[in-house]
Amino acid sequence: MWKTVLDRMLRKLVVTGELTVTWPDGMSDAYGPGGGPTADVRLTDDSIVKELGQRPVLALGEGYMDGRIDVAPDRVYDLLALLIRCQQQGAMPKWFNAVQAVRGWTRGIEQRNNPLRSARNVQHHYDISDDLYRLFLDDDMQYSCAYFARPDMTLDEAQAAKKAHIAQKLQLKPGMTVLDIGCGWGGMALTLARDYGVKVTGVTLSENQLATAQARAKEMGLEDRVEFLLRDYRKVERHFDRIVSVGMLEHVGYPHLDSYFAKVDDLLAPDGVALIHSIGHVSPSTATSTWIDKYIFPGGYIPSLSEVSQSIEKTGLWAADVEILRGHYGPTLNHWRQRFEARLDEVRAMYDETFVRMWRFYLAVCEAAFEETRQGVFHLQLSHGQYAVPRTRDYLYAAKPQDEMRHAAQ
């Protein structure tokens, strides 16, 4: 029965390229018109056939994790990209679309991230081991979209370019106070303090990240310019000349978008500037993937441009500039995925094969989502005054050389 159900789903779903499925009984079927991307998958157990027919998104990830879905490691991305491309063409069953719509309507209940739940959600992902992240991130441990000003940039160069691009938008001057909401392992805060002479307060909910950030500040001799705190951003009280937040808005949750931007409004000095860097949809909002929510980012939500715009409009802030970074996060994730695969022996020394397959699936499905859907990165430059930043973007592309910036900060 379930083989018939899944067969019908696939015949409707695969509208481009070709997908070859080998069933548990050894028989194979091909789906799609061909002439495009191709993928091959083997289902090793009848149970996964049933689960794919009942809850395809969750079962696809879980089935790959436990080995009931067999795909060559170097073809996992191909499979996911093909399925996501076909899904974007509206070929999923009506019942699936109905379930997704209901999940979208109830996201305000599912994503109530109070401070305690927010801390648990962050620790689920970021407190597993700094050693894992060091294997595939750049030297500065930037765990967010890089900025490929040139397509031939290395990952380290593109991450440095991302920080420089953000710093330009913040219009920093030596001695300014900066709040870094969701400071991660401290790379952004330390760079701003070292290269621009500002004083930075970074807040995180991850104990691992806090310890690493504090150790890095000590090693770099920046303890007098950078302070890292284990604190929810909602508990921060004083004003700051500048606010930066990179890759944190995705953890806020749909019900808290208004309160997040209201807090930014409250913390930002009257003549201040904030730069919010966040993954976002430039299409109608969709419910968070059930697999991503369960295994990778519990409580996470990627907002649409219309949702963040509505929340900003309820504050006293100007949307001084909104830039959509396209074609940057896919390559970033590709770098991470290739670096992860290159160091599998070290990963396997720390984790079992289920974890290896989970992390491979995570990196591949995120890369495919950025390449195949209308998902990018928002740069929301916010201010209280309309003249707090230059009236044109010319200043962004006439940046001083980095050594000149360092000289000005000293």
* Domains defined for the chain, CATH in brackets: 2-105 (3.30.1050), 113-409 (3.40.50.150)
SS3 for 336?
helix
pLDDT given for residue 409 in this prediction: 46
Confidence of residue 88 (pLDDT cuts 50, 70, 90): confident
What does the pLDDT read at residue 300? 86
Reported confidence tier of residue 297, pLDDT bands at 50, 70, 90: confident
pLDDT over 60 (residue 108) = no
What confidence score (pLDDT) does residue 145 get?
98
pLDDT in tens, 368-383: 999 999 999 999 999 9
Per DSSP, the three-state class of 88 is helix
Q: What is the pLDDT of residue 71?
A: 97
Amino acid 248: pLDDT: 95
Least confident of 96-110, 222-236, 368-382: 96-110
Catalytic residues: 366
Query: Rounded mean pLDDT of 68-83?
Result: 97
Which of 35-39, 144-148, 272-276 is least confident? 35-39
Q: What is the pLDDT of residue 284?
A: 86
Q: What average pLDDT is seen over the chain? A: 90
pLDDT of residue 93: 62
- For the ranges 16-30, 85-99, 256-270, the lowest mean pLDDT is seen at 85-99
* pLDDT confidence band for 106 (50 / 70 / 90): low
* Mean pLDDT score, 180-192: 98
The pLDDT score that the predictor gives to residue 410 is 44
Give the residue from 394, 8, 378, 350 showing the smallest Cα distance to 168.
Answer: 394
Are 261 and 312 a contacting pair, CB within 8 Å?
yes
Q: Quick check: 56 pLDDT over 60? A: yes
| Mean pLDDT on 17-32 | 96
Note the pLDDT of residue 109: 53
pLDDT level of residue 408 (50, 70, 90 thresholds): very low
Residue 391 pLDDT level (bands cut at 50, 70, 90): very high
What is the predicted pLDDT for the residue at 406? 46
**Neighbour order of strands in the sheet with 69-70:** 28-34, 17-22, 38-43, 69-70
Residue 192 has a pLDDT of 98
- Band (pLDDT 50/70/90 cuts) for residue 285 is confident
Give, in order, the Cα–Cα distances in Å from 63 to each of 24, 41, 86, 292.
13, 11, 20, 14
Say what the pTM is.
0.90
Q: Mean pLDDT, to the nearest integer, of 321-326?
A: 97
Average pLDDT of the residues in 269-294? 92
pLDDT at 234 over 50: yes
Per-residue model confidence (pLDDT) at position 1: 77
Which of 297, 287, 290 minimizes the C-alpha distance to 54? 290
HEC string of 206-272 equals CHHHHHHHHHHHHHCCCCCCEEEEECCHHHCCCCEEEEEEECCHHHCCHHHHHHHHHHHHHHEEEEE
